[in-house]
Amino acid sequence: MALIFPFKAILFHASQDADITPLVAPPYDVISAADQVTYRDRNEHNVVRLILPEGARYAQAGTLFGEWLSSGVLAEDEQPSMYVWEQQFEQAGESVTRRALVCQVACGPYQEGGVLRHEHTHAGPKADRLALYQATGAQFSQIFGVFRDAGDGVAQILAKASEGPLLRQAAAADGHHSRLYRISGAETLAHLQSALAECSIVMADGHHRYETMGNYFEAAGAAGTALMTLVPDRDPGVTVLPTHRVAELPLAPAELAKGLSSGYDLETHPAGRWPDLHRGQLAAAGAELLAVSLAHDTALRLLPTVGGAQLAATGTVGLLHDDCLPRLNAAAPQKFAYYHVAAEAVEATASRGQWAFLLPPVSVDRLIAAVEGGAVFPPKSTYFFPKFLSGFINARIAPR
């Protein structure tokens, strides 16, 4: 049971065409050091100055946020509302539109508040975001969830609201275009609350931010809400991409094959065949792992044997972390570099000792079913595209 609420959005002042492109930025955790400079220089009021202040001076970000509110750079809506965030982007050569419901969601321990995590997290990012929340008392980056929209009732409301007046729009560096619309009317808001109360929200992106929000309210001794963007499960724009791994693994191909032979049938190919093998992996209905090393000029295709490795609820990424790599015992890697583009992961293996593990994506249906069944995926298991822009719609952090 998920509890959702309308809220007073804090929006950047916009020109007549509602375009705030110079003021927004991607989520903080995908902004490189060079990109920080780019966004900071783009506009003196770009949100990166709040979410990634120079020198991590979060007290300064809190002061700046207050100044922007008092000067009219940012303005808070007078009436609580919910919103539609519409994103248009290219996928496989076709234009796709994704619509999300923007609202406040009761936050707390997973399960209890109707919000379920799909992957484990790391401690470092949560400490960093907590410092920002405590300094500003506001949330500038989205927490992204998906949910089962029985009968597509929520999707129909979002589509209808997107026919209304345009509040804000912005173009992102990755090519997608965002538009914001208001959902108002007590009856419509109540219908949305009733619909979400019948289902769970599965976290798609922003686990660290959600958990940090819970820590924020726990420290304050209060119950609270988190600003979230919620996408119906059958929306055509729910795009989940895999996150490939590159690990330092000082094993020759024969040694790697020997360590995995008890649970997998292995095929050895020249590294140059990896694109064809990866296409086959993406098309395969079952479990299939692919390990590539340019330095060893080798691509290993791994298929679980009958009675050997078993595909877990967490799919191929779970198979890799919970079965495949542990078979290597002491040689099993503990740290990974993550890549969303398979070719970039493979290129990183030109240095000896580096192996790329290429993975297929997890379908939305499988993700929701696994999480509802209690499964938790390894960190960085999915990559939902496109991301939601920071600064596009913001909110104060307040108890409920």
196 and 310 housed in the same domain: no
311 and 191 housed in the same domain: no
261 and 235 housed in the same domain: no
How much of the chain exceeds pLDDT 90, in percent?
A: 62
Q: Does residue 377 lie in a domain region? A: no
**Confidence at residue 333, expressed as pLDDT on a 0 to 100 scale:** 87
Q: Does residue 374 lie in a domain region? A: no
99 and 25 housed in the same domain: yes
229 and 252 housed in the same domain: no
**Confidence at residue 48, expressed as pLDDT on a 0 to 100 scale:** 97
Q: Does residue 75 lie in a domain region? A: yes
**Structural domain span for residue 270:** 244-358
CB environment 341-362: b (16+ within 10 A), e (fewer):
ebeebbebbeeeebbbbbbbbb
Element (H, E) at 181: strand 177-183
Q: Does residue 376 lie in a domain region? A: no
Q: Does residue 365 lie in a domain region? A: no
**Dihedral (Cα; 307, 313, 314, 317), 10-degree rounding:** 20
- Per-residue pLDDT in tens (0 to 9) along the chain, 400 residues: 799 999 999 999 997 789 999 999 999 888 999 999 999 999 999 999 999 998 878 999 999 999 999 999 999 999 999 999 999 999 888 999 999 999 999 988 776 658 998 887 766 677 888 889 999 999 999 899 999 998 999 999 999 999 999 999 999 999 999 999 999 999 999 999 999 999 899 999 888 888 888 888 888 888 899 999 999 999 999 988 889 999 999 899 999 999 998 889 999 999 999 999 999 898 876 678 999 999 999 999 998 886 666 667 888 898 899 889 999 987 888 889 999 999 999 999 998 889 999 999 888 888 898 888 888 888 888 889 999 999 999 999 988 8
Q: Does residue 312 lie in a domain region? A: yes
- How distant, in Å, are the alpha carbons of 36, 56, 99, 125 from that of 128? 16, 9, 30, 5
Q: CA 151 to CA 156: how far, in whole Å? A: 9
**Confidence at residue 127, expressed as pLDDT on a 0 to 100 scale:** 81
251 and 229 housed in the same domain: no
Name the residue with tokens 């069944």: 373
229 and 256 housed in the same domain: no
Centre a 10 Å sphere on the Cβ of residue 237 and count the other Cβ atoms it contains: 20
198 and 79 housed in the same domain: yes
382 forms bridges with which residues in the sheet?
242
Q: Does residue 375 lie in a domain region? A: no
Q: What is the pLDDT of residues 369-388, one digit of tens each?
A: 888 888 888 888 888 999 99
158 and 217 housed in the same domain: yes
Q: CA 39 to CA 326: how far, in whole Å? A: 42
310 and 175 housed in the same domain: no
208 and 187 housed in the same domain: yes
**Confidence at residue 310, expressed as pLDDT on a 0 to 100 scale:** 60
**Confidence at residue 111, expressed as pLDDT on a 0 to 100 scale:** 65
Q: Does residue 370 lie in a domain region? A: no
**Confidence at residue 98, expressed as pLDDT on a 0 to 100 scale:** 97
259 and 347 housed in the same domain: yes
**Per the structure, how many domains does the chain have?**
2
